[in-house]
Structure 1
Amino acid sequence: MAHQPEKIVELSRRVERISNEKIESIVDINQQAKYLSLNARIEAARSGEAGRGFAVVANQVQYVSEQITGIADALKEELAGSIADLIRIGENTLHEIRGYEGRRLGDLALNMIETMDRNLYERSCDVRWWATDSSLVNVLEQPDAQAAGHASRRLGVILDSYTVYLDLWVADAQGRVVASGRPDRYPQVRGANVAHTEWFRRGMATADGGGYAAMDVERERLLGDAHVATYATAIRADADRHGKPLGVLGIFFDWAQQADSIVTSVGLSDEEWTRTRCMLVDRNQRVIAASDGAASLKERYVLRNDGQPRGFYENADRSLVGYSVTPGYETYEGLGWYGVIVQQPRAAFE
């Protein structure tokens, strides 16, 4: 009961409703008794001496009826005050507990998005580090089949160690993919032109070796329409931080698998999971990950956050929404994504 204040309020309202109904029934029955008493006195008066004894009984019935009326009125007044106090206490308690639960959901949402931020920070480090690999620089400085093969094998070795990626690509300055880490799995990648993609354009435009482009989650056609978070940076001449951009390294984070592990590992009880949905929502209000596995990138979730970076609110259906915007991590500033947790209320009677 302590964990379900909704029951206190619901039971109080039920007691109020039942008591009012029963008191009204008493009043109705008592009113009928008054009418019978009145009729009995009228008949007794018509009967004269013979009806005198019956008149005594009728008067007594009238007396008892008046007492019942007084008791019913007093009961109604006393119950109304007590039940009103009980409802008020229950609602105040419910408000306090809902506030605690809402703040907790906001904290869990922050923890969820922070975990993702730390993960994506590592991706930003990976792409900048691997762009200085000599085999990737060589395939752009001296492009030939041997260099392309060596670069692809090198990318494959990296993928064997870093299982969070679907693939790694090297594209030359014209946007043609000259090497990839998984040519057997994705044969359509090699030779594809990616000059039109935002990740390639932004990667080529990075100011120096410390810069990178972090993209929102999208489907990648060349990777079987998989959901990916793409990171890119320029591969520079001589692997020098300020060298001329020769092409771009694009790395494709296996978003669905990695994000699912985060939204399904939030610290909720088994009972809470039956009525809770945890989501990651991007700056365009797209649901990019969901604990129920229903993130299609087409669903929109509009937060009522009133411009606040973190907090909670209650919907009309009494569901609680806790949220937190990405705080970023180290040099990764984040992309304006939110951690969002929507929790339905417990049933009033389980």
Structure 2
Amino acid sequence: MSTSALTASQSEVFLPYMRDVGRCERSLQELNLMWRIIEASAKMNCPQEARAILPTMAATRSSFAQLEKELVHSLVQQKISHVLTEIGTTAQYVIDIVVRNLFERTADVGFLATDRELCSFVAGLHEERGRIHHRLCEYRNKYTVYDEIILLDTEGHVLAQIDPSSPLEHSTDPLLRQTLASDQYVETFRASDLRPHKRQALIYSRRMHHPDTGAVVGVLCLCFNFEEEMAGIFESHGDPAHRTNLLLLDDSHRVIASADPEWMPVGVRVPVNLDQSPRLFMHAGREYLVRTFSSAGYQGYPGPTGWLGQAMIPLDVAFSSQSRDLVSGLDPDLLAGLLSHADRFCPPLHDIVVAARHIQRIVWNGQVMTAGQHGDMQKLKTVLEQISETGNRSNELFEHSIHDLYQTVLGSSLLDAEFTAHLLVDLLDRNLYERSDDCRWWALSPELRQALAEGPPDAAERMRSVLDTIHALYTVYTSLFVYDAEGRILAATSEAGQAFVGQSLDARDLAAVLALNSPQHYHVSPFENTPWYGGQPSYVYHAAIRHPDDEDRVVGGIGIVFDSTPELHNMLLSGLGGREHMQALFVNRQGRVLASTSTAHPVGSVLALPGSQTALANGSSQARVCTHLEEYAIEACSVSKGYREFKTQDGYRDDVIAVVYRHFGPVRGARTAQRSQDFYIEHDTATDSGLEFATFFCDGSLMALPAECVQEAVSFSEVRTTSMGVRSGQIGILGLRESQSPQGKASYIWVFDLGQLLHGQRAERTPNSQVMILRHGGQALGLLVDELHAVTPFEASALEPSPLALQSQSMLTRQVIKANQGKLLIQAVDVDRLFQWLIDGIEPPRFSLADALAAQAPQEEALALVA
């Protein structure tokens, strides 16, 4: 859900309800004020001494003020987007599931209204009411979504029904006349005398014809158990914290089903958000965030006219949930790599990171610029100390705020993927539930039972006629076939099915069908390559056909071949809802792919999932950040749990896992960013002694250079890369302004890759890459490093020779700085040797302290040598 249209004034409306963002804003304002005070103090107390740093301070203050606004605004936007995504996914789910479910009802009523036995009864050809009642109950036992089935004549007299709690004799409902006048089904949702104890009833009706003359003789009504079905949807997918209410609305925007009817009762009119805007809506004196969705329809069925799925969450509780910390537990390389693609999955986050990096560089440059200027300049010294302290606080706050923003963005993406996976397995279970119903009901067909039991000469033709009628109404199958007790196929539908006639059923499936205990049981072949589906994998649903006079005697069976390739693929596409950045799959517990929208994972291949996901409990979901197909991705899994009695009480088990991927960009190389707080250097600000060093990261290690030889740092984007260099590590040139150049005029310097000088391998260029401009002995050069860190003074006693420096007198890092009481070792670059090598063209060795420690001794032994 995009919130890019949210204005600054709109953000202020939401801000009081986001306590964490409010705290961040106050901290940013305090730091902004501190930068103003420091700048004003320098101007008033030591204008001459501070004239060199005043422009940097002004730039810092201006950039900080702009970043403060952008960061707070982005935090507000992303939190709103997170909530809207969460409630929007469930609202879309409500209407999509309802429409898919009701589509099946339109087929059911069309089939049952042509049932010859029922039509004969309604036509008055026999009066065996008990047998008809039993047949209707058998149907209800298979299709448990109905709570009433009614047969009426053309005058509205009730001939049969199955709900004993609501006895009927006659109906005057106008739907009867409408149905008698139509050759299609009629869908009715309102109060009806056919369901007198209900406020509203969802009824599917169709006229019935005389089995011999074709005259219209009555009406069949299938009454959908609407309240029970909606309660199940709300219970399964509603908000467990009860902050959000899920609703189903009619075309006048009145509630027809509510997850919490005491909060929003049926019949009340509510505001809707059809344009998906992030604005607030008032209802009953309370402000809400609202998401509203209509249905795109399913296989040509649009659903009841004007029905909408909606979710509403009050503003005062919308942002109060305790979200999981999704960032701190991630592998640092994975976290940094994913963040490097922020421009793709969250442009505002990328802009904030770039702005924060710019300010951090300004502060770092200010600290470098003033290094070594203490002396007797007491007034300036105080200002410099405040710059250093405030700069460190600013960096820490930036990292914390960006962490929160990152957390919100990731949380929204993870939640969206997890809900999508959950929706997909639910769609699958609900669809396949209908298949289990179909095969069992069709196995009860009197025509099929009689033809198999008696075997008249035209038995095959009669059975095919019945199967053709069924198949015309149920298009999700490629073929339907009937076989005898020996497994020999006698009749089949479709051109492909005709080739089955005369063939025999697999012994495994036949044995399973013959062993079915009752008409309530069924058998499903495993999802594997089958000749009944052209040698491709699919499910084939089977039910036993029993002798018309002996329920215990199985005379054959019916097989219905699910058209799995398009049907499963369409389920995946429907669940993704047009989100092209996502891919989805159905797999089994072993990772075998049943259906896929990804060309990298075709049907039949095996998807490697971690054991924690293949072992998830039924109905459980999980989402994580990972790498997939050499890209950073979110991976969400959800395991099927069944629907109603399907896979829960009927003895059938076939766990399917829906897997959803969202990719963000190619995997980066080694560590692409460092967390400065993980390398915090303790420093006593009360002391004015010590040697100042500029610290930075290179190839995952914290390193240092004397601050006096560092002029400033610039973004790597300012370097002009070139292949003209002849020296090792020479990667490009950097243009210097007059103020930067040792000669006092515009010039160019060579830029070298420190990582390549140390190890012989070029460092990966990332958005964090910085170039430090070094000056030494009248010469200048640029040095590419991974990231800037800090400018800190160290006592001379903290510097000690590297314990391994004697092994190579030409090492670049001959000393280490023992920081934090020796707990943190910082490699100090030898500036003299660095310039000697680069000026004289001496090839540096591929060796460093990190290499030596790894190759020669465990870390604790090396630390002991240093000590």
Are residues 82 and 236 of structure 1, via their aligned partners in 2, closer, same or farther at CA, if it must alter by over 3 Å? same
Q: Which residue of 1 aligns with 2:563?
A: 254
Matched, 1:324 2:638: yes
Amino acid of the structure 2 residue aligned with 1:193 = S
How far does residue 97 in structure 1 lie from its aligned partner after superposition? 3.6
Whole-angstrom distance in 1 between the partners of 2:465 and 2:616: 48
CA distance, structure 1, for counterparts of residue 412 and residue 422 of structure 2? 15
Please, what TM-score do these two structures have when normalized by structure 2?
0.33
The alignment partner of 1:245 has SS state of strand
Q: Distance in 2 between matches of 1:228 and 1:109?
A: 21
Task: Report how many aligned residue pairs link the two structures.
Answer: 312
Q: 2:455 aligns with which of 143, 150, 153?
A: 143
Q: Which residue of 1 aligns with 2:474?
A: 162
Aligned AA for 1:320? I
After TM superposition, the structure 1 stretch with the greater mean CA deviation from structure 2, 85-94 or 101-110, is 101-110
Kindly report which structure 2 residues correspond to 1:145-294, keeping only aligned pairs within 5 A, or say none. 146-182=458-494, 184-196=495-507, 198-238=508-548, 242-266=551-575, 268=577, 273-292=579-598
The letter for the 2-side match of 1:158 is I
Superposition deviation, residue 178 in structure 1: 1.4
User: Would the aligned equivalents of 2:491 and 2:498 in 1 still touch at CA under 8 Å?
Assistant: no
* Secondary structure, aligned partner of 2:458: helix
Aligned in 2, Cα 1:68/1:194: closer, same or farther, shift over 3 Å?
farther
Task: Point out the structure with the larger helix share.
Answer: 1
| 1:142 CA displacement | 3.0
Given that 1:216 and 1:282 are in contact with CA atoms closer than 8 Å, whether structure 2 keeps it comes out as no
Farther off after superposition, 311-320 or 72-81: 72-81
1:223–1:108 Cα change, 3 Å? closer
The alpha-carbon deviation at position 70 of structure 1 amounts to 8.2
- Tell me the distance in 2 between the aligned counterparts of 1:257 and 1:128: 24
Whether the 8 Å contact between 1:12 and 1:86 is mirrored in structure 2 is no
Compared with structure 1, are the counterparts of its residues 88 and 12 closer, same or farther at alpha carbon in structure 2 (3 Å cutoff)?
farther
Residue 650 of structure 2 corresponds to residue 340 of structure 1:
no
Distance 1:316 1:22, change over 3 A: farther
Is 1:200–1:232's contact at 8 Å kept on the other side of the alignment? no
Alignment correspondent of 2:687: none
- Shift of the alpha carbon at 1:339? 2.3
**Do the aligned residues in 2 keep the contact of 1:230 with 1:252 (CA within 8 Å)?**
yes
Task: Provide closer, same or farther for how the CA distance between residues 236 and 8 of structure 1 changes in structure 2, counting only shifts above 3 A.
Answer: same
Taking structure 1 as reference, are residues 155 and 23 closer, same or farther at Cα in structure 2, changes over 3 Å only? same
Deviation for aligned residue 1:215:
3.5
Q: Shift of residue 301 of structure 1?
A: 4.5
Distance in 1 separating the partners of 2:398 and 2:532? 63
Instruction: Give the Cα–Cα distance (whole angstroms) in 1 for the partners of residues 659 and 552 of structure 2.
Output: 42
1:314 aligns with 2:624: yes
**Residue segments in structure 2 that go unaligned for 5+ positions in a row:** 1-73, 79-345, 648-652, 667-765, 768-867
Residue pair 1:279, 1:288 contacting (<8 A) in 2 also? yes
Contact 1:186–1:223 (CA under 8 A) maintained in structure 2:
no
- In structure 2, relative to structure 1, the CA distance for the partners of 1:319 and 1:6 (3 Å cut) is farther
C-alpha deviation, 1:117, in angstroms = 1.4
Q: Distance in 2 between matches of 1:75 and 1:286?
A: 59
Residues 151-200 of structure 1, C-alpha deviation per residue, up to 9 Å, x if partnerless? 12221221111111001111222221111112x3344311112233x433
Structure 1 counterpart of 2:441, which letter? W
Relative to structure 1, the CA distance from residue 336 to residue 223 in structure 2 (aligned partners, 3 Å threshold; closer, same or farther) is closer
In structure 2, relative to structure 1, the CA distance for the partners of 1:316 and 1:330 (3 Å cut) is closer
Cα distance change of structure 1 residues 69 and 299 upon mapping to structure 2, 3 Å threshold = farther
SS of the aligned residue for 2:481 comes to strand
Q: What code does the residue aligned with 1:335 have?
A: D
Q: 2:431, 2:468 → 1: CA distance?
A: 21
Paired with 1:81 and 1:239, the residues of 2 have a C-alpha distance of: 87
8 Å contact from structure 1 (residues 16, 80) kept in 2: no
Q: Tell me which residue corresponds to 2:354.
A: 11
Return the offset for 1:255.
Answer: 1.0
Shift of 1:228: 2.3
* Structure 1, 173-182 or 16-25: larger mean CA deviation: 16-25
User: How far is 1:76 from its partner?
Assistant: 4.8
Query: Identity percentage over the alignment?
Result: 20
Indicate the residue corresponding to 1:59 in structure 2: none
Query: CA RMSD for the aligned pairs?
Result: 3.4
Q: Alpha-carbon deviation of 1:19?
A: 4.5
Cα distance in 1 for residues equivalent to 2:527 and 2:394: 56
For 1:11, the aligned partner's letter is V
Alignment partners' CA distance in 1, 2:521 and 2:352: 57
Output one character per residue of 1:215-243: Cα deviation in whole Å (capped at 9) or x when no partner: 34333224323442211111111176x32
Give the unaligned 5+ runs of structure 1.
35-61
Structure 2 vs 1, CA of residues 223 and 336 (structure 1 numbering), >3 Å: closer, same or farther? closer
* AA in 2 matched with 1:281: V
CA distance in 2 between counterparts of 1:19 and 1:201 reads 79
Corresponding residue number in structure 2 for 1:82: 394
1:281-325 CA-to-partner distances (Å, cap 9, x unmatched) read 223322212234654122324253363542333233352222322
Letter in 1 for 2:646: Y
Residue type of the alignment partner of 1:208: S
Q: Is the 8 A contact 1:280 1:339 kept in 2?
A: yes
Structure 1 pair 63–313 and aligned structure 2 pair: CA distance change class (3 A) = same
Query: SS state of the match for residue 252, structure 1?
Result: strand
TM-score (norm 1): 0.75
1-side partners of 2:363 and 2:626: how far apart? 28
* 248-257 vs 95-104, which moves further: 95-104
Question: Residue in 2 aligned with 1:118?
Answer: 430
Whether the aligned pair in 1 keeps the contact of 2:593 and 2:606 (CA below 8 Å) is yes
**Aligned equivalents of 1:73, 1:116: Cα separation in 2:** 64
CA distance in 1, matches of 2:441, 2:356: 65
Could you tell me how far 1:208 is from its partner in structure 2? 0.9
Deviation for aligned residue 1:131: 0.6
Distance change (3 Å), C-alpha of 1:20 and 1:153: same
The residue that corresponds to 2:732 in the other structure is none
Cα deviation for residue 277 of structure 1 reads: 1.0
Whose strand fraction is larger, Structure 1's or Structure 2's? 2
1:99 aligns with 2:411: yes
In structure 1, distance between residues paired with 2:510 and 2:410: 47
2:353–2:402: 8 Å Cα contact kept in structure 1?
Answer: no
CA contact (8 A) 2:367 2:388 kept: no
Distance 1:247 1:103 in 2: 48
Distance in 2 (CA, whole Å) between partners of 1:18 and 1:234 is 76
Q: Helix, strand or coil for the counterpart of 2:478?
A: strand
Change (3 A) 1:78 1:191: same
Structure 1 CA distance for aligned equivalents of residues 457 and 506 of structure 2 = 21
Tell me the distance in 2 between the aligned counterparts of 1:223 and 1:217: 11
